[in-house]
Amino acid sequence: MAMPKASKSLASPRIAPEGILALFARDVGALAERLSAIVKQEVPGVVEKAHVGWKGIGYRHPEKGYFCGIFP
């Protein structure tokens, strides 16, 4: 899967977390998916966001803020 082309604005292109994981070898993506599932199960209300430039997925609690990321 090709990465989305950067727009001329300063904003990063939007991509789903699954799109980030698709960039990596199947075993690496599968491990990252397991970690993601654990985070989502253990932290009610977590907000998950893909970070294209970092090729990672960030996790933020609505009240407490950013608390971790997965960078395969």
Q: Report if residue 38 sits inside a domain.
A: yes
Q: Count the domains in the chain.
A: 1
For the segment 40-54, what is each residue's pLDDT rounded down to a tens digit?
Answer: 999 999 999 999 999
Q: Report if residue 42 sits inside a domain.
A: yes
Q: What are the tokens at 48? A: 């998950």
**Residue 39, burial from CB neighbour count under 10 angstroms (0-12, 13-18, 19+):** middle
pTM of the model: 0.75
Residue 28 has pLDDT above 90, yes or no: yes
Q: Report if residue 45 sits inside a domain.
A: yes
Containing domain of residue 55, as a range? Answer: 17-70
Q: Report if residue 48 sits inside a domain.
A: yes
Q: Report if residue 51 sits inside a domain.
A: yes
Q: What is the structure's pLDDT at 6?
A: 47
Q: Report if residue 10 sits inside a domain.
A: no
Q: Report if residue 44 sits inside a domain.
A: yes
